[in-house]
Structure 1
Amino acid sequence: MRYSLKGLLATFLLLGLFSCANAAIRLPNILSSGVVLQQKSDIQLWGWASPNEKLSIWPSWQKDSIQVRANPDGKWLITLHTPAAGGPYTIDFDAHNHIRLSDVWLGEVWVCSGQSNMEFTYNWRKTKDIQIDFDSCQQYNLHFFQVPKTTGVTPQEDLPGSWSSCDSNTVKDFSAVAYFFGKKLNKNLHVPIGLISSNWGGTPAEVWTPAELVNENPFLHSWQEKLKPSVGWPILAGRAYNGMIYPLTNFAIAGTIWYQGESNVETYQSYGQLFKTMIRSWRARWNQDFPFYFVQIAPYHYGANNGAELRDQQAQALQLPHTGMVVTADLVSDTNDIHPHDKYDVGARLANMALSDHYQLTGDFPKSPVLAGYTLNGARVQIRFSDAAGGLKVKSGDVQQLFIAGSDGHLYPANLKIEKDGSITVSSKDVSAPKLVEYGFTNTRLGNLVSGQGLPVAPFRIQL
């Protein structure tokens, strides 16, 4: 067989180019210049290279480089401990090629996820509470990573996106809730804040939950099948999780904030179990029992009483450790708008939970009182609340939307006595043997019982 010299040279050249291409270190997009890494934590850096290729990694905050070798699949991963917040730093990756990450910060990292009320941006609805921050937002040392809307039939290894610093332009297209959350964290912690916005308007919680946990659970699967198809978002279990959450789970975070539920109102019956399943699955994949703070859906004219039922299901997630719920009953001026404009207070209330519960700061970080327990004393029901140490009060006149019922189920307006310890006693002359107490259990009228600091008491239903 005869070969021309030109042909052999071309073949060797192609093989050489192929080998060089294989040898290149690659990093996931979440590890790019501008990244915020979780401070004072064991974090992971990972990526791809040629099988068995040796890499040298040098973060500029430490003296020595780290050596690692890619496995036979061409994947590599290292774990290192980060010092206290600071920056900007660099991280150098060396093998057959060189990558330098610049503008690297150490601080606090939060995932901000959900549907349209978390996705809500200035450029979408021109919310005024962000506009007044245009000239000052760059001073809060906030850094954004926006995850594009994408799905996966199976869990993905990477996702598109890049980091950007907060300024008067980037803040316009970033989650308003996440921005105000991050702003308050920075003003109190005085460290860089990394915010990963991974949300998709219209999505039900099933798409954010690993598919097998829904499809292999007869109860959850039966309710998923009742979801209405849409041309604007996926409804199949796991699709957003695979494309928009799973690729992040090697990346160390401080916690998650979540604003979702509107698209599960018509299938509220499964939401309590579904939501807890989702939270547990995220924590299991991150291998971290991180704080998970969420927003109770706002007053809106839903069909039947489904909004109230969904809120009741959301509150079941408080059974899990390190969770918290923001109440929005007082933040809505138009109950015909499913997207309330006040995102400042939503973000600030989420930050209050993080600052007091997770970061253990002392100060003025009020939270809404939430049902904690009850005692039946004859015809009276004594009801206890968390976060009511400052007492409760009725805002504007007599208490509204507080009802009590006996075995016939007829709801009577309840008499209210506020106790000194922050509990309340509920009764009615028409009910001798209470079987049900409801407060704010409607779609739009959520009552006027508030904490001593003015925050609304979370709506509740007690079946005795």
Structure 2
Amino acid sequence: MKKIVLIFIFIFFSCKQDESLSLGSLFQDHMILQQDEFVAIWGYTKPRGQVFLKTDWGEEKLINADESGEWNTKIKTLKADLKPHELVVQNSSKKIIIKDIFFGEVWFASGQSNMGWQMGNKITEVEGAIDEIPLADYNEIRYFRATGNDSYTPNKNVKGSWKVCSPETVSEFSAVAYFFAKELFNNLQVPIGIIHGTWRMGHPAEAYAMPELLEKVKGFEKINERIKISLDPNTPYNMWLSNHNYVELNQLINDDNNTTFLSDENKKFVEKKYNDSNWEILSLKEINKKFSIENEFDGVVWLRQTFDYQKNQVVDLEFEIGEVNEFFDIFINGKFVNRRKGYGKFESRFLIPDNILNQGINTIAIRIADMYGDGGLLEDEDRGIYYNNKKIYSFFDTWKVKFSSWKTNNRLYNLEEGLDEIVFPSKLRMPREGSKPTMLYNSLISPISPYTLKGFIWYQGENNVTRYENYRSTFLSVIKTFRKKWENEKLPFYYVQIAPHEYANRRNQTSGEFAANLREQQRLTLSEENVGMAVTMDIGDSLDIHPKIKKPVGKRLALWALAKDYGYKNLTHSGPLFKEVNFQKGKAIVSFDHIGSGLHVTNKKLKYFEIAGKDKIFQTANAQIKGDKVIVWSKKVPIPLYVRYGWKNFLTPNFFNKEGLPASSFNSINHLNDE
């Protein structure tokens, strides 16, 4: 009888008038649904409308939408059968057919740039990618890269599409997530789906947390008040925004040679005969001071200079931009010369197209776009025009200057009168930027979270190193956010301990072992239920915060999943992790979990162990493996009370288990405090 009713409804839907119908963002061709599970399906139609859902594996549902038009249901999937399936959703006039669906294991990958680092990245090439990409022909591995819009409130949709893994598509995949998926597939022989929710670069952990959990963390107690102020349309700042035109940041940064002008007036700034008589005249030092952090200005400035070039050579010339931290576009006599197209490394010297430079009077126009922090065109003696690698012309230090756009609210707002017209926001207002607290929760986590999955993998922490004291509590708010949104407090959460890197040199800071302290916060998080940590002590890079070695990272995350979620009970899935220490006769006797088939040193002498007495001043110590323990001692500390290992921002350790997995750094002081 039920089947007859559904058939009648199906025919009835085919005859009714037009109405809207859509599905949640992730329901597309090539998707992977979590196998052998009741999975969530949702979408939108007219208010209180009806939707009919049917699958080729026998599921049929008639679903009623609520007063806003939202509808949702759950359907039972099959065990992975390596066969493509179809799902049909239909209302009175529209039918949506989703094809090539696999059942398998679905994981959500998130974090910051090291998780986002793509297989085909050209800035820091992934080690082994050249050989791996041509072989990456895995129809059973599917990847969805989600992006969204910055928002103070939860979004309902993300942008993206499911990609079938192939040599043509894998360059777009997160390298860590790809190697994780490949390791799972090779062992389980079932389809693997990766939903990747890392957006842009440089995001701190708190961007992924929901407000009600983040407000319990020290330093974020006023997060809800800040959001309320940010949303209030009647603040002077928000009223200023509403009265100014803007463009989105991504309109300015693109990968071609086409400059996007922010207004029609801006287009005239490059012209040789443009009247810039009312522009300010400033030195580079004065310009850069405007961009200083103290002055809170980021945005766009145009520089113009007229110069008399009397050299006979007007072809085969090169322009040296010199030191500049920001995006730039360069024009000579109204003609395009070159531009910086993206973040990362760029060539500072480039050819000037022939017949642009004239013998006599010329005009150069440079647009500088400062996105954060200090900025501007820095003073540099190398800047100028070159022929045969020899500098033949230098520019004056003073320039005609026009500040044309202010970067705020994650957009570029046009300035008619320059900096004086800016209305700065309240200190409590939270910028509408993905790097700010709760922003990625709103733009990515909330709209993705109903999608049924197996668990999470995470690679983040670098952006929190100088605020390591509260990282554990912040990180826990993220873990709890994910589990709460997916309505399962026990979903596995496996994360990467950040790799060694010389943060002090990179940030021009001279004190504090930032990375060691943050790694410790991550290690202490292991006390939580159903979490695991992939240790990367052996793959760090002193100069590059993005280590090129990604394959072991993905594989080590997969080891945790295989051991904890897929029945590989005897699999050694971690390097040695500090368990406890006992002190006897002036020596520290250190025990470890996850020793595998034994502790191992890659050369004769263990490095980076230290001990301390009651003064807590650590001294370099001798260390020796004795069975399943490490014995640590130093003549400088006759009565040791504390022991630590690997307590440096950057190091090249030699302490592993015999399975080749590195030991985590640790400090027994923190362990005792944690207990």
Q: Above 0.5 in TM-score?
A: yes
Whether the 8 Å CA contact 1:255–1:292 is kept in 2: the answer is yes
Residue 450 (1) aligns with residue 656 (2): yes
Deviation by residue 1:369-422 (Cα, 9 ceiling, x = unmatched): 1112333446333322221141212221211110101122332233334343x2
Change (3 A) 1:461 1:85: same
Residues in 1 aligned to 2:190 and 2:434: alpha-carbon distance in whole angstroms: 37
Q: Tell me the SS of whatever aligns to 1:438.
A: strand
Q: What is the rounded CA distance, in whole Å, between the counterparts of 1:203 and 1:297 in structure 2? A: 14
Task: Determine the structure 1 residue equivalent to 2:361.
Answer: none
Corresponding residue of 1:109: 106
- Structure 1 segment 383-398 matched on structure 2, within 5 A: 383-398=590-605
Which of 569, 576, 591 in structure 2 is aligned with 1:369? 576
C-alpha displacement of 1:36: 0.5
Give deviations 1:52-103, integer Å, cap 9, x for gaps.
22222112112x5112211222111111221201331000112212111111
Cα offset, 1:140, TM superposition: 5.5
* Structure 1 counterpart SS, 2:87: strand
Structure 1 stretch 351-360 or stretch 212-221: which is displaced more?
212-221
Looking at structure 1, the residues matched to 631 and 120 of structure 2 have their Cα atoms a distance apart, in angstroms, of 47
The code of the aligned residue for 1:297 comes to I
1:282-321 deviations in whole A, cap 9, x for unaligned?
Answer: 1011012211111111111112311111111111221111
Give the deviation of 1:278 after TM superposition: 0.9
Aligned with 1:450: secondary structure? strand
1:295 aligns with 2:290: no
Match for residue 615 of structure 2?
408
Counterpart in the other structure of 1:214? 214
How far apart, in 1, do the equivalents of 2:212 and 2:223 lie?
15
How many Å apart are 1:20 and its aligned residue?
5.3
Report 1:7-156 matches (<5 A): 23-62=19-58, 64-86=59-81, 87-96=83-92, 97-125=94-122, 126-139=125-138, 141-148=140-147, 150-156=149-155
1:437 maps to 643
1:275 maps to which residue?
A: 475
- Secondary structure of the 1:158 match is coil
DSSP 3-state at the match of 1:383: strand
- Which whole-Å deviations, capped at 9, do the CAs of 1:304-344 have from their partners, x for residues lacking one? 31111111111122111111111111123x41111110111
Task: Write the distance in 1 (CA, Å) between the matches of 2:158 and 2:601.
Answer: 49
- Amino acid in the other structure paired with 1:27: L
Contact 1:57 1:66 survives alignment (8 Å):
yes
Structure 2 CA distance, aligned partners of 1:155 and 1:248?
A: 11
Report if aligned partners of 2:572, 2:596 keep a CA contact under 8 Å in 1.
no
Structure 1 residue 360, shift from structure 2 partner: 1.6
Are the counterparts in 2 of residues 366 and 453 from structure 1 also a CA contact under 8 Å? no
Cα distance in structure 1, aligned partners of 2:104 and 2:29:
15
Which residue pairs with 1:204 in the alignment? 204
Matched, 1:424 2:419: no
**TM-score normalised by L of structure 2:** 0.62
Q: Deviations over 1:417-442 (max 9, x none)?
A: 4343x232333343243232110010
Indicate the SS of the match to 1:339: coil
8 Å CA contact 1:140–1:187 kept in 2: the answer is no
Q: Is the 8 A contact 2:176 2:551 kept in 1?
A: yes
Give the corresponding residue for 2:183: 184
1:175 is matched with 174
Amino acid at match of 1:267: R
Q: Output the amino acid matched with 1:254.
A: K
Match of 1:346 in 2: 553
Aligned-residue CA RMSD (Å): 2.4
Matched, 1:314 2:522: yes
Give runs of aligned pairs for residues 236-247 of structure 1, distance below 5 A.
236-247=436-447
Moved more, 397-406 or 215-224: 215-224
Judge which range, 147-156 or 179-188, deviates more: 147-156
Runs of at least 5 residues in structure 2 that lack an aligned partner in the other structure: 1-15, 227-295, 299-370, 373-409, 411-432, 505-510
Q: Deviations over 1:95-115 (max 9, x none)?
A: 212111111111000111111
Question: How many equivalent pairs are there?
Answer: 440
Write the distance in 1 (CA, Å) between the matches of 2:91 and 2:605.
72
1:223 deviates by 11
Partners of 2:655 and 2:127 in 1: CA distance? 28
Gaps of 5+ in 1: 1-18
Letter in 1 for 2:99: S
Residue by residue over 1:141-178, the C-alpha shift from the partner in whole angstroms, topping out at 9 and shown as x without a partner, is 11010112532211111111111211112111110111
Q: Summarize the Cα distance change of 1:135–1:111 in structure 2 as closer, same or farther, 3 Å threshold.
A: same
Correspondence list, 1:331-342, <5 A? 331-332=539-540, 334-342=541-549
Question: Do 1:140 and 1:183's aligned partners in 2 also have CA atoms closer than 8 Å?
Answer: no
CA 1:94–1:222: 2 relative to 1, 3 Å: closer
How far apart are residue 446 of structure 1 and its match? Answer: 5.2
Query: Given residue 462 of structure 2, which amino acid in structure 1 is its aligned partner?
Result: E
1-structure distance, mates of 2:618, 2:218: 35
Task: Report the counterpart of residue 387 of structure 2 in structure 1.
Answer: none
Distance 1:100 1:310 in 2: 47
Name the SS for the 1:73 alignment partner: coil
User: More helix by proportion, 1 or 2?
Assistant: 1
Following superposition, the deviation at residue 366 of structure 1 comes to 4.0
Q: Distance in 2 between matches of 1:338 and 1:271?
A: 18
**CA offsets, 1:20-54, max 9 Å, x none?**
56x32210111111110000112111111122222
- Aligned residue identity for 2:648: T
Report how far residue 363 of structure 1 moved: 6.6
Query: CA 1:455–1:216 in structure 2 vs 1: closer, same or farther (change >3 Å)?
Result: closer
Preserved contact between residue 465 and residue 518 of structure 2 (Cα < 8 Å): yes
- Per the TM alignment, residue 447 of structure 1 is displaced from its structure 2 partner at its CA by 3.0
